Chains A and B, each alone.
Chain A
């Protein structure tokens, strides 16, 4: 009985892990930090009592919330160490592998860089809606915000990104 429960949990985990990794990477920006954060979330899920685990309406939404909280804590402790945001981005770029460097030359990736330069809450909302395609009520519960606020934020961010796109297009800089 325990074994089959573990097996279904393992099946769930695979999908959750990729999702959590993408979200944590969007918030923390650094690849290594995101890998650590993902591990942390998975370990916590694994240690959790199976009955408690099955009691959640959606284990996925729960994991994403946990990932978000973990990332925000990480960012906060970084700020406590007087690391500025720029420094953080710079460091992550320095330590990135050759593969990432190649990816940065990729045309699509400058869109990603543009998103990564948004404040963390906006990055999170873009990631959850445009990439993970969550419903407004799910995003609202993950971020602990009213649904209406999420819509307002999203509209604002979409317009902001559009504006930046148009500026880039008009100046011809990439």
Chain B
């Protein structure tokens, strides 16, 4: 298949003028030809995709039942785990702390700690004030 003919076909293809038979020629060319000009690689990918997409089938019945069986087992397992947690008291409603409650708790603790830090700092400042006082007096004495 000469690339000239393909080029003309492509031009008409993009104008929506090609027939199904002509498009079959294009498909055959892009899916079978080994040396495709680099500029045409995107077309090859496009036609290649169409070829693959054409073969997709409805998921088979056996596949479906298999997955449904598996999901049943998952459901049973999760119920068992929940029951075990309930019995162990892990899932006790008192122990369930929501994220917001946790955040609030953390904020309160942070506030308390910051207050302590600030108290200590203030005490430090008071001591420094004494130092100032002492300094003043020594200055007076030296004079």
Contact = CB atoms under 8 A, between A and B. Distances in A.
Q: Top 10 nearest A-B pairs by Cβ distance?
A: A155-B16, A111-B49, A165-B42, A151-B16, A21-B58, A154-B16, A18-B57, A130-B50, A108-B49, A17-B58
Contacts of B45: 107-108, 111, 165
B58 A132 contact: no
29 contacts: A17-B58, A18-B57, A20-B58, A21-B57, A22-B53, A22-B56, A25-B56, A38-B58, A108-B45, A111-B45, A112-B53, A130-B50, A131-B50, A131-B53, A131-B54, A132-B54, A133-B20, A133-B23, A151-B16, A151-B17, A152-B16, A155-B15, A158-B13, A158-B14, A159-B14, A161-B46, A162-B42, A162-B43, A165-B46
B131 to A, nearest CB: 65
Interface of A is mostly: helix
A111 B46 contact: yes
Interface string B51-73: 01110111100000000000000
- Chain A's interface size range is 20 to 34
A35 B42 CA distance: 31
B27 to A, nearest CB: 9
Nearest to B13: A158
A67 to B, nearest CB: 12
B126 to A, nearest CB: 60
A82 interface: no
A56 B50 CA distance: 29
Contacts of A169: 41-42
Given A18-B58, A21-B56, A108 B48 contact: yes
Nearest to B48: A108
Contacts of A17: 58
Contacts of A38: 58
Nearest to A126: B50
A135 interface: yes
Contacts of A154: 16
A135 B20 CA distance: 7
Given A108-B45, A158-B14, 9 more contacts: A18-B56, A21-B57, A35-B59, A111-B46, A130-B50, A131-B53, A162-B42, A166-B42, A169-B41
